A and B are shown apart, each in its own frame.
Chain A
């Protein structure tokens, strides 16, 4: 083979977007992308912008704080089995980051009583929980209440 010929790995050296995201959570950093045209935050990070359909985005980070806008309790049919196995109290809800993007999320530490208490106060503040799942760290949330 011609020694001067470009190697495949030099020819194509793409970013590992998903790997970077999960490694970031391990370090307590929430990576996202920002659209180079419309400025929308793409979360979780992907190559292109889903807000305006532009092809190019650049890296940014999120603080992880935001608002819980609605939530549901889970039952037999829709429980998060991995969390039930750990005996965790949680609800599933819609979180909007302070920077804009929204996602369905898991909010820890909310039992039925607490849930009923906050139901009429929505939206309420949440902050990130970098949760160790063993082989990876994921992003959950908890209520961001002033000292009690």
Chain B
């Protein structure tokens, strides 16, 4: 790959002035939420974001709708026009996009460009996915049924290159464990040490989710251990109650599939204070995309996207106060943190064991619990991270508020085998 992209300066600076998000939940098993539809979910999140920005639907000029797999999960291929009427934007311009689990981060990148270009002043961008279910035949949207493995498993392959990759070695297999395996060899970690690191990481992310009412998995591991008859939580984490799903990843390091939606409103920074006292400026977004046939693709694409965004902003990892990593592959969290320099090279695993990556540690990350605890509504997950980032940067995260008010937050998006984005936000107040 060629590393010669140098990001330019946007035509004008863009800031986030409103955010909204539904909880992440299981729409099949949760009786209170069963029957909610894509349009309703996206609509609730969109109206929340508008309320937060003190605007009405009439004020918004254009919107983006992101979802990872609208065809299989929702029986549609142009969800933008199917959701528009739910929040008063009938007849206005909009666009659907779909980049797997990276969708939510790209949603912000796209909206920023729409405003930075000068084309629009007030843009809504959001994502919604209902990952737990699928349409129950050809019926209205509230009639949904559990997503079966017969439908899901063959369809998962559609993120891999169909010309070659998925029929050679670029399909599942290396996808989950390639990086952690490479890291363990590079740094001389035993399988037991890796297990400890991943269990500690999951444990600390769950501690944050316990304090986050929008998260899907909120029961602390201490409680789960006790309920299962273990005095020692770490013994529980290594027990058959938390089985290995791959060579390295246990259930606690695997994402929890969910339904949910999240949105934000972006405007030119020069008028941002009209909408909020606490605008969050989007400084830049680096991007790199590699197919799953490329060895160590996540490491390579993360390094490249981070290089671009640091170069464009003149900032370094030392300037970052908070980090989000899309960690539907649990190990991605601390590995990406290390790759971008947020944790020291070769020693990030120690920071995890010491709990420094927890919301109350000095290197906080994934303060909503991340994909393993907050849940994973595929395309919506990235926007849920942006929601949490803005909440933390405004100092509104309550019990899970990080110790130091974050000036800069770094988001590492990842997904769709695999798109990578690296975005830096700055508290502009």
Within 8 A of A (CB), among B284-300: 292-296
* A76-B245, A103-B293, A104-B295 known; A21 vs B173 contact (CB < 8 Å): no
Chain B contact residues, majority secondary structure: loop
Chain A contact residues, majority secondary structure: mixed
CA distance A105 to B177 in the complex (A): 14
Are B163 and A103 within 8 A (Cβ)?
Answer: no
* A18-B163, A53-B2, A106-B173 known; A75 vs B247 contact (CB < 8 Å): yes
Q: Which of B168, B178, B294 contacts A139 (CB 8 A)?
A: B168
B52 CB, min distance to chain A CBs, angstroms: 37
Inter-chain contact count A-B, CB under 8 Å?
102
Q: Which of B163, B178, B245 contacts A77 (CB 8 A)?
A: B245
Q: Which of A50, A72, A104 contacts B292 (CB 8 A)?
A: A104
Output the nearest chain A residue to B157 by Cβ-Cβ distance.
Answer: A81
B100 adjacent to chain A (CB < 8 Å): no
A52 adjacent to chain B (CB < 8 Å): yes
* A44-B164, A52-B2 known; A78 vs B292 contact (CB < 8 Å): no
CA distance A95 to B167 in the complex (A): 15
CA distance A72 to B167 in the complex (A): 18
CA distance A136 to B168 in the complex (A): 11
A80 adjacent to chain B (CB < 8 Å): yes
A118 adjacent to chain B (CB < 8 Å): no
A31 CB, min distance to chain B CBs, angstroms: 11
* Binary flags per residue of A12-42, CB closer than 8 Å to B gives 1, else 0: 0000001001000000000000000000000
Number of interface residues of B (CB under 8 A): 34
B254 adjacent to chain A (CB < 8 Å): yes
Which A residues lie within 8 Å of B2 (CB)?
A: 50-53
* A52-B2, A103-B293 known; A78 vs B172 contact (CB < 8 Å): yes
Are A73 and B247 within 8 A (Cβ)?
Answer: yes
A102 adjacent to chain B (CB < 8 Å): yes
B71 adjacent to chain A (CB < 8 Å): no
Interface residues of A (CB under 8 A from B): 18, 21, 44, 50-53, 69-81, 92-95, 102-106, 122, 133, 136, 138-140
